[in-house]
Structure 1
Amino acid sequence: MGSLFSSSGDDLASRLGTSPWVLYSVAGFTFYAVLCSSLRFRRLRTMRKRLNYPDRESLSRMTNEDAQKIVYYLSIYEFPVLYDFSLRYAIFKTYAIDNIGNLLYRVSDLARPTEASKRYDDTQVLFASYVNFPPGSEALAKSVARTNFLHQPYRQCGKISNGDMLYVLFESMHEPVRWMRLYEWREMADMEVAAIATLWKYIGEMMDIDYRAELGKDQWKDGIEFMDDVAAWAAEYENRHLGPSPDIAKLGQVLVELMLSAYPSFSRAPGYKILMVLMGERMRHAFGFPEPGVVESVIAYSLLLTRKLFIRYLCLPRIVPATFISEPDPVTGRIKHYHFLKDPWYAPATFWARWGPEALFRRACGLKVAGDGGEAMLPDGFLFEDIGPRNEMGKGVEETARLAKAAQSKVSASACPFALPKKG
């Protein structure tokens, strides 16, 4: 059989006027590409079948628990890199809103280069907690409660408005959908879009965001309709509030410098130009950043297109999850952080984290690895009372616990938030 196959291949190669090895290589490459392309959609098909959301009509019965499961698999298996980056972008974009950016520059550690690294990672671990921990869990309630505790003084005095909170929620659910549509190997399916909107609506309710006050309604047929309504509202909100100011420009400069300083020095200049391209015209104007040139734009979009095609046709699906934070330690309750930006906040100093391939590369580039900074970086992980400015670390334990119970009581974890009451 082998000799027959070899003989047939040699004959075909001879007729085509090429080497048999070229023919075999092309056939092997084609088979591998078809295999990758076929397996790439397997996880989506399995998830859709297992949770039974085959069409748009079925999305109205999606529960908060199912929504979290779907978003979780998106973030650790399907799109871990760009999902994470799109959330970073979403958070950064909210800083261009006049009320949010000006307030952060005046009162937040984000505006201080020496403290910005911790505050940035604090925001990241809170957002990771919203996705990682299922509705109804103590860890999710505590993560939302800590957010509410840190925002509480500013909401009570009117410095953070209900509209500001809704806009941050909108960007957090909208940007991942937009980034996957533009830059990932596939766009999100309706089930996944609905899941993101459903999960963030649940988080928003735990944060006491009043949807009716901004949107004029509090009932929708599914997550997609909810996202569409918030998107229409957000467009008007941006027209009124997304604009330049000296404080926002200074805040943007600090944060861009922080992000670039987390990468090797040789990559910072081209990284800055690519960042300017991806930021978009409105954000560049709001932060006062320069316009990129045509060459930078072509390079940035070409790299993204190449990555998209490479993953789509030449990469087998991820089988090892991209873990951003751990489960709470059963004894101490501490949660470890595996994806710090610049300083290794809450990152465990394991042998692999300090001497593995990525760590060796970071060392060679003069960047920090887990364990650098000692106990000040809390390498055993964080408790939620560690999240926030240094002067708030360890404070508000009782208040955070009270807010956690209040947040859990606001909405049922297993509820179908878009199931409309029956008439009659």
Structure 2
Amino acid sequence: MASLFASSGDGLASRLGLSPWVLYSAAGFTFYAIVCSSLRFQRLKTMRKRLNFPDRESLSRMTNEDAQKIVSYISTYEFPLLYDFSLRYAIFKTYAVDNIGNLLYKVSDLARPTKASKRYDDTQVLFASYAEFPPGSEYLAKSVARTNFLHAPYRQSGKISNADMLYVLFESMYQPVRFMRLYEWREMSDMEVAAVATFWKYIGEMMEIDYEAELGKKEWKDGIEFMEDVERWAIEYENKHLGPSPEIGKLGTVLVELLLSAYPKFSREPGYKILMVLMGERMRDAFSFPEPGVPESALTYPLLLARKLFIRYLCLPRIYPAKFISQPDPVTGRIKHYHYLKDPWYSPPTFWSRWGPEGLMRRAFGLKVAGDGGAAMLPDGFLFEDVGPEDKMGKGVDETARLTRLAQTKVSASACPFALPRKG
């Protein structure tokens, strides 16, 4: 049989004027691509079967616990890089809102180049905590409670409105769906879209966002319908509140410079141009950023397409999850951070983090590695009372504890938030 196959291959190769090894390599490459593509969808099929969400109708019984499990696997196995980037993008976009951006410029460490790094990473560890810790858990409640504590003075004074909070929530659930549709190796399934919306809906409930006040209703058949309603509302909100101002422009400049400073110097200029392309016209105008030229667009989109095809057909699915934060230390309760932007806030100085491939590459380009900055970077990890501006570090412990207890009453892990009461 082998000789027949070899003979047939040699004959075809000779008719085409090629070496037999060219045909064998092409056949092997094609087989590998088919296997990769097939295996890449296996985890989605397994998750759908295990949680029993075969169709749109079944999504109405998705619980908060189901939603968190799905979001966790999306963010750590399926799309870790772009899921993380899409959330960064989402938060950055909310800074272009008049109330939010102008307030941040006046009062936030994000507007101060020497302090922006910590505040940026603080936002990331809070968002990572939402996805890492399941509904009903103490540490999810703590992460939301710390967020509520930091927002409380501005919400109570009316400087941040309920509508502003809902818009931040909308961008946080919408941008991951949009980014995967446009740039990842596959778009999210209905199950995953519903999970993302359900996940953020219960986070919003713990943050005491009043949906009915903005949307005029409080019942939806599933997470997809909820997201669609919020999206329609957000379009009107953007038309009223997303626009340029000197303060927003200055805030945007500080944050873009922070983002680019986390990468090697040679990549910063092209990185800036690519970022301008990805922002889109509306967001660039809000921050008063320049419009990119044709060369930048011609570079950006082919690179994204090449990445999409490479992952889809040439990369086997991830075996181990991407870890952004650790589980709390059983003794100290501290949580370690593994994905800092510029400065190694809360990142443990292990041999691997300092001298592994990533550490060596960062050193080669003059970037910081875990352990640089000493004790000031809290290398043993963070407690939630460490999260926030420098003048709030270690403060509000009792109030955060009270808000933690309150947040735990807002969400049930096993609740089906879209299960409507039967009529009649």
Interval containing the TM-score (normalised by the shorter chain) = over 0.9
Partner residue in 1 for 2:234: 234
For 2:152 and 2:84, the matched residues in 1 are separated by: 27
State the distance in 1 between where 2:421 and 2:144 align. 28
Partner of 1:285: 285
Partner of 1:113, secondary structure, is coil
Q: 2:42 & 2:182 partners in 1: Cα distance?
A: 21
**What is the rounded CA distance, in whole Å, between the counterparts of 2:32 and 2:221 in structure 1?**
42
> Residue 250 of structure 1 aligns with which residue?
250
Q: Does 1:115 align with 2:139?
A: no
Q: Which amino acid aligns with 2:231?
A: A
State whether structure 2 residue 52 is matched by structure 1 residue 52: yes
Q: Give the structure 1 partner of residue 185 of structure 2.
A: 185
CA distance in structure 2 between the partners assigned to 1:105 and 1:226 by the alignment: 32
Residue 161 of structure 1 is matched in structure 2 by: 161
Alpha-carbon shift at residue 414 of structure 1 (Å):
1.1
Distance 2:348 2:5 in 1: 54
Structure 1 distance, partners of 2:252, 2:14, is: 63
Under a length normalisation based on structure 1, what TM-score does the superposition of the two structures give?
0.99
- 1:313 deviates by 1.0
Q: Partners in 2 of 1:126 and 1:411 — Cα distance?
A: 18
How far is the alpha carbon of 1:326 from its aligned partner? 0.5
Query: What residue is the counterpart of 2:214 in the other structure?
Result: 214
Q: Deviations over 1:314-335 (max 9, x none)?
A: 1111112111000111111000
Q: d(CA) in 2 for partners of 1:375 and 1:411?
A: 37
CA positional deviation for 1:18: 1.3
Corresponding position: 1:12 with 2:3? no
Partner of 1:93: 93
> Is 1:385 matched up with 2:389?
no
Looking at structure 2, the residues matched to 76 and 402 of structure 1 have their Cα atoms a distance apart, in angstroms, of 31
Tell me what 1:361 maps to: 361
Contact persistence 2:135–2:411 (CA under 8 A): no
How many Å apart are 1:16 and its aligned residue? Answer: 2.6
What is the alpha-carbon distance in structure 2 between the residues aligned to residue 97 and residue 180 of structure 1?
Answer: 24
Query: After superposition, where does 1:30-69 map in structure 2 within 5 Å?
Result: 30-69=30-69
In the aligned structure 2, how far is the partner of 1:15 from the partner of 1:39? 35
Distance in 2, matches of 1:23 and 1:286, equals 54
Report the residue type matching 1:51 in the other structure.
L
Contact kept in structure 1, 2:245 and 2:286, CA below 8 Å: yes
Instruction: For 2:406 and 2:168, locate their aligned partners in 1 and report how far apart those are by CA, in whole Å.
Output: 21
- 1:334 — aligned with what? 334
CA drift at 1:6: 2.4
SS state at 1:99 partner: helix
2:136–2:411 contact (8 Å) kept in structure 1: no
Amino acid in the other structure paired with 1:320: Y
Amino acid at match of 1:249: G
> Is the Cα contact below 8 Å between 2:87 and 2:175 reproduced in 1?
yes
Q: Counterpart of 2:310?
A: 310
Give the structure-2-normalised TM-score. Answer: 0.99
* 8 A contact 2:146–2:385 mirrored in 1: yes
Equivalent residue for 2:263? Answer: 263
Contact 2:76–2:323 under 8 Å retained in 1: yes
Amino acid at match of 1:306: A
SS in 2 for 1:114: coil
Please say if 1:128 is aligned against 2:128. Answer: yes
What letter corresponds to residue 52 of structure 1 in structure 2? N
Find the residue that maps to 1:410 and give its secondary structure: coil
**CA–CA distance in 2 between the matches of 1:18 and 1:362?**
45
Does the residue aligned with 1:6 lie in a helix, a strand or coil?
helix
2-side partners of 1:294 and 1:127: how far apart?
A: 35
2:322 corresponds to 1:322: yes
How far apart, in 2, do the equivalents of 1:151 and 1:379 lie?
26
> Between Structure 1 and Structure 2, how many residues are aligned?
424
Q: What is the letter of the counterpart of residue 67 of structure 2?
A: A
Distance 2:245 2:10 in 1: 70
Shift, 1:188, TM fit = 0.3
Partner of 2:421: 421
Report the 3-state secondary structure (helix = DSSP H, G, I; strand = E; otherwise coil) of the residue aligned with 1:360: helix
Counterpart-to-counterpart distance in 2, 1:341 and 1:45: 34
Query: Helix, strand or coil for the counterpart of 1:169?
Result: helix
Q: What's the offset of the Cα at 1:396?
A: 0.8
8 Å Cα contact 2:165-2:209 kept in structure 1: yes
Which whole-Å deviations, capped at 9, do the CAs of 1:58-90 have from their partners, x for residues lacking one?
000000000000000000010000000000000
Give 1:281 shift: 0.3
> Following TM superposition, where does structure 1 have runs of at least 4 consecutive aligned residues deviating by more than 6 angstroms?
none
Equivalent residue of 2:409, what SS? helix
Letter of the 2:151 partner, please give it: H
**1:394 corresponds to which residue?**
394
**Corresponding residue number in structure 2 for 1:78:** 78
| Cα distance between partner residues in 1 of 2:411 and 2:190 | 24
> Which residue of structure 2 lines up, in the alignment, with residue 300 of structure 1?
300
**Partner of residue 351, structure 2:** 351
How far the C-alpha of 1:10 sits from its partner, in A, is 1.6
* Separation of aligned partners in 1, 2:273 and 2:15: 50
Query: 1:412 Cα shift?
Result: 1.3
Shift of 1:13: 1.6
User: In the TM superposition, what whole-angstrom CA distance separates every residue of 1:87-130 from its partner, at most 9, and x where no partner exists?
Assistant: 00000000000000000000000000000000000000000111
Amino acid at match of 1:417: P
Q: Partner letter of residue 293 of structure 1?
A: G
Deviations 1:357-400 (CA, angstroms, capped at 9, x unpaired) = 11101001000000000010000000000000011101111110
Deviation of residue 8 (structure 1)?
2.8
Cα distance, 1:345 vs structure 2: 0.1
**How far is 1:14 from its partner?**
2.0
Q: Which amino acid is the alignment partner of residue 167 of structure 2?
A: Y
> Structure 2 regions of 5+ residues with no counterpart?
none
Match of 1:174 in 2: 174
CA separation in 1, counterparts of 2:133 and 2:152?
23
Q: What is the alpha-carbon root mean square deviation over aligned residues?
A: 0.7
Q: CA deviation at 1:160?
A: 0.6
Deviations for 1:124-150, whole angstroms, at most 9, x for unmatched residues? Answer: 000011111100111100000000000
State the alpha-carbon separation in 1 of the partners of residues 273 and 387 from structure 2. Answer: 32
Give 1:3 shift: 3.4
